[in-house]
Amino acid sequence: MWIYRRRVSDDLCDRYQNLLDGSYDCVDRIVLNAYFSIGHSPGGFRVWWRGWHGESDEDLDKTHLMSMAGRFLRPVRAWPTSRGVPVIDCKAGERKDLIAEEYLAERAVGPGVFMVLVARAPATVWEVTRSARGVIVNLEK
């Protein structure tokens, strides 16, 4: 993770220093990049799921996976919306730094989060197939 800071407190960088690749002063942003290697194979995904759900595959289905995604997304969008902070969905390849610079050129902002830019990276989507008896017979991308 890189933290680019101008208005963000140094306490944030100090607190998460062990997780940071580096930092320097420029346009305000926190960039989170994560790679979940175990989740890219059917066996690895099931090991992760079972560890999270007490060694059970009972709730491993499309409904629960979509619900889990929604439980993550709703608060991510609700927090800035409730504070009047714009949430902007970006397309692949769009220069987020230019969007932020244009926004800052048109508005005066104080310390803190002034916008949230959302970019979706390609990710594995799992399809769970069960037998008539409810046993998982296939887990595929």
| Predicted confidence (pLDDT) per residue in 2-16, tens digit | 444 444 445 666 776
- Read off φ and ψ for residue 89, nearest 5 degrees: -85, 130
Q: In one letter, which amino acid is 65?
A: L
Q: Is residue 71 part of a domain?
A: yes
Domain that holds residue 49: 35-140
**Spatial contact of 5 and 31, defined as CB atoms under 8 Å apart:** no
Q: Is residue 1 part of a domain?
A: no
Q: Is residue 112 part of a domain?
A: yes
| Whole-number pLDDT of residue 28 | 56
Distance CA 25, CA 97 (A): 13
Q: Is residue 44 part of a domain?
A: yes
Q: Is residue 117 part of a domain?
A: yes
Checking if the pLDDT of 106 tops 90, the result is yes
Distance CA 90, CA 102 (A): 14
Q: In one letter, which amino acid is 97?
A: D
pLDDT 10s digits, 28-77: 566 666 677 888 888 998 999 999 899 998 999 888 988 988 888 888 88
pLDDT 10s digits, 120-140: 777 778 888 888 998 888 888
Domain count, the chain: 1
Q: Is residue 22 part of a domain?
A: no
Q: Is residue 18 part of a domain?
A: no
Q: Is residue 26 part of a domain?
A: no
